[in-house]
Amino acid sequence: AGLMNYPVYEIGEDGLQHTKELGGLLYYLYQGVKMGIYPPLIFLGVGAMTDFGPLIANPRSLLLGAAAQFGIFTTFLGAVALGFTGAEAASIGIIGGADGPTAIFLTSKLAPHLLGPIAVAAYSYMALVPIIQPPIMKALTTKEERMVKMEQLRPVTKTEKIVFPIMVTILGALLLPSAAGLLGMLMLGNLFRESGVVDRIFKTAQNELINIVTIFLGTTVGATASAEKFLTPQTLMIIGLGLLAFCVGTSTGVLFGKVMYIASGKKINPLIGSAGVSAVPMAARVSQVVGQKENPSNFLLMHAMGPNVAGVIGSAIAAGVLLSIFG
């Protein structure tokens, strides 16, 4: 099985060494998915794009990011109940993390035969965040809660922004080594951004590199979705469970936001809880749009970015936990 990743050499009739090729272009590009190379590289780019300032300024938003990960574990239980194995259920559950690269990373390790349907479900629901989330957010909050204006976040120092990614990487690697690849690359990208001394590398990570890797990832994962694997009742189950994962994640985020609204003496707008699903920055924009419809002078975007980036960290940790159990 180890040979599958490499060209095989054999001695021909002429006594010379010949390379026996095992596959074409897509086969070799797919090794980046199979070996788990592409998702961490995408995380490097995401880290370079992301400002962790709102999370550092309001560390409580970490709790909202954690609350929105409930969708992963609820869906895991649902998938087990429908007859999927533990490893398959873990791969389906991670769709609730609303993070395409994380879903692909975990599925390629635990259930590669489900890669096509899970990738389609994860990326489809990420794109549908502005349609799926607002009805749930409105159903679970009152007009008074949605109108809450939050006070401006405190300015974050450069030192804090540099120390934060280093500390998260160290703690993450010690507590959960299986998540260190994703988490470490996310934080390295952020360190490129905040250090201010590697401008060219920082720009490449957040533009050219992430775009190239996304093309490789999308093309090769799409190529795995052959008709006999994809057009099955199982795929419909996965897409249904993925929707459940998103709805539960959004709901638990908003409900925990309501708890914080009461605990803070009505100073926290529960709408920012829905941004805990980690579709960055779309989920934060949805919190902003829904809040501004109720109160035109409301600016929730930066407040919602806290739970949003906490959700990215949360989904990487959830993937690490599932990988350490089923991997």
Q: Give the mean pLDDT of 275-284.
A: 94
Q: At what angle do helices 86-93 and 301-326 cross, to 10 degrees?
A: 170
Per domain, the residue ranges of the chain are 1-35, 36-326
DSSP 305: H
What DSSP line would sit under 13-65, residue for residue?
TTSSEEEE----HHHHHHHHHHTT-HHHHHHHHHHHH---HHHHH-TTHHHHH
At residue 177's C-alpha, the angle toward residues 171 and 178, to 5°, is: 130
pLDDT higher than threshold 70 for residue 4 = no
Q: How far is CA 121 from the centre of its chain?
A: 13
Residue with tokens 């969708």: 71
CA distance 265 to 267: 6
Residues 6 or more apart whose Cβ sits within 8 Å of residue 203? none
Give the type of residue at 143. Answer: K
- 9-52 residue pLDDT tens: 777 777 787 776 677 889 999 999 999 999 999 999 999 999 99
Name the pTM for this structure: 0.91
Average pLDDT, the chain: 94
pLDDT tens column, 92-151: 999 999 999 999 999 999 999 999 999 999 999 999 999 999 999 999 999 999 999 999
Full DSSP string of 199-229? HHHHHHIIIIIHHHHHHHHHHHHHHH--HHH
Secondary structure class of 310 (helix, strand, coil): helix
Amino acid making up residue 240: G
Q: Among positive and negative, which fits the CA dihedral 41, 43, 49, 53?
A: negative
pLDDT at 285 over 70: yes
Phi-psi region for residue 294, left (φ > 0), alpha (ψ -120 to 50) or beta? Answer: alpha
Per-residue model confidence as pLDDT tens digits over 170-208: 999 999 999 999 999 999 999 999 999 999 999 999 999
